[in-house]
Amino acid sequence: MTIAAKAYAAHASDKPLAPYSFTRRSPGPGDVVIDIHYCGVCHSDLHIARNDLGRTRYPLVPGHEITGVVRAVGDSVSRFRPGDRVGVGCMVDSCRHCSECDAGLEQYCEAMVQTYGSPDAHAEQSGEAITQGGYSSVITVDQDFVLGIPDSLPLDAAAPLLCAGITTWSPLVEWGVGKGDKVAVIGLGGLGHMAVKLAAALGAEVTVISTSDRKKADALAMGASDFLISREREAMARAQGRFDLIINTVSAPTELGAHVNLLARDGTMVMLGLTTEAMPVMALPLLFRRRRIAGSLIGGISETQAMLDFCGQHDIVCDIETITPDQINDAYARMERSDVRYRFVIDMKALAA
C-alpha cells in the first residue's frame, strides 16, 4: 500500500512547473506521515528546478520548507502523534554513525539525503527514483528528521524557518554572535530577512547591504539599525573595517572585493548563496586584518529544533506572501527579479482537496 500524493513538479529545466501525481511510501516502523499544509519557496528550489548545478533529475518536486500536521505514525514512533504540528527541512536522512552525524551536523554527512533530488532508498515503495519535496500534499519522513513546531508559531509563517531560518541561524551561532556584535547581511531576500531578525534578537547591531533603497524601511522594521546600498561607493568606503560577521545571502555571483573590505580584524564573511561561478578575491585585504571567507550549509537537526524553539520564545516568524500552487511559476519569475517580500509560501492544502 502506498499513499497518493498530488504535487507540482519541474519536468525540464526550461519548462514551467506543472501538476504531478505520484506516491509516498506507507509508514515503516519509524516513519511519520505528514499532511503538508504549507511549503516555502526557497531560491535553491529555483536553482535546482533550472538545473543550475547541472545534476537535476526530472520530474522533480521541489520544496524543503515544509509545515503540516501528522496524519499517521509507524509502530515504533515515540516522539510524534497524529495531530501534532510538525516541520521538515532540507534533509530527510543521513548515515547516523559518522563523525558528522555524531556531532549533530547531519548536513555534512556524506550520505545525507536531501528532501528532494537525492536517490530514494525507498524507491520500491514510493515508486520514485529520487526523493520528492514539499510542493505536495503529503510526505513520509523518518521521525528523526521531523521537527516540532512551537504552538505559538503559525504554520504558514513558520515554514521558511525550516531552511531560511536555520541556514542563517547556524552561522550566527557558530560565529558566536551576541550583544553588540556588528553584523552585516548582504541581500534582503528570504535568507537575508531571517538573518536580520535572528541577529537582532541575539543582540547584534545589524546593517543590511542591498542593491537599492527599495527595502530600507522594511529592513529597519525587521531590526536593522543601518542600511547600505552596495553601488554607493562612498558609503561603502566609510563602512570599511566595521563588521565582525557578514552573512552573504546573494543568489548570484557578485563582486566580493568591496565587501571583504567591510570586515573588521578577524572578521568573517560567510557565503550562503548557491553560486556556481568563481568570484575573484584579493589576498592583501585578507592578510592585513586576518579576515576570513567561509561557507555554511543549512544546519543540523538539533540546532534546527533549537532555532524553532528560540523563534517560539521570541515570536520570530517570516514575512510571507501566501500563494496557491498554480502561482508557483509567477513566484519564480518574481524571485528572479528579487521582488519577494520576503518569502513566498505555498498553501498546499488546496492540492489535497
DSSP state letter for 84: -
Number of chain positions touching Zn ion (CB under 5 A): 3
| Among candidate residues 167, 172, 115, the one with its CA nearest the CA of residue 145 | 115
Residue nearest to ligand NAP (CB): 189
Q: What is the 3-state secondary structure (H, E, C) of 93-137?
A: ECCCCCHHHHCCCHHHCCCCEECCCCECCCHHHHCCCECCCCCEC
Smallest distance from ligand NAP to CB 300, Å: 12
Q: What single-letter DSSP state applies at residue 221?
A: H
The reply to whether 163 sits near Zn ion by the rule CB under 5 A is: yes
- Judge whether 352 and 329 are in contact, CB under 8 Å: no
Structural contact between residues 166 and 298, judged by C-beta atoms closer than 8 angstroms: yes
**What residues does 228 pair with on adjacent strands?**
209
**Residue 177 touching Zn ion (CB under 5 A):** no
Question: Nearest distance from residue 77's CB to ligand NAP, in Å?
Answer: 28
CB nearer to ligand NAP: pick between 207 and 254: 254
Given Zn ion, ligand NAP, none, residue 249, with its beta carbon under 5 to 8 Å by kind, binds ligand NAP
Residue 219, all three cell numbers: 529592513
Q: Which residues bind ligand NAP (CB under 6 A)?
A: 42-44, 47, 163, 167, 187-192, 210-211, 215, 249-252, 254, 272-274, 296-298, 335, 338, 340
Q: Which is nearer to ligand NAP, 137 or 249 (CB)?
A: 249
Residue 82: CB minimum distance to ligand NAP, A: 30
194 binds Zn ion (CB under 5 A): no
Q: Among residue numbers 42 through 71, which ones bind Zn ion (CB under 5 A)?
A: 42, 44
Q: Pick the closer one to Zn ion by CB: 33 or 42.
A: 42
What is the nearest approach in angstroms of Zn ion to the Cβ of residue 42?
3
- How far apart CA 236 and CA 55 sit, in angstroms, is 37
- Residue 37 interacts with, from ligand NAP, Zn ion, none (CB under 5-8 Å by kind): none
CB-based contact 106:100 (threshold 8 Å): yes
Instruction: Please report which helix (H) or strand (E) contains residue 7, including its range.
Output: strand 2-9
Which residues contact Zn ion by CB under 5 A? 42, 44, 163
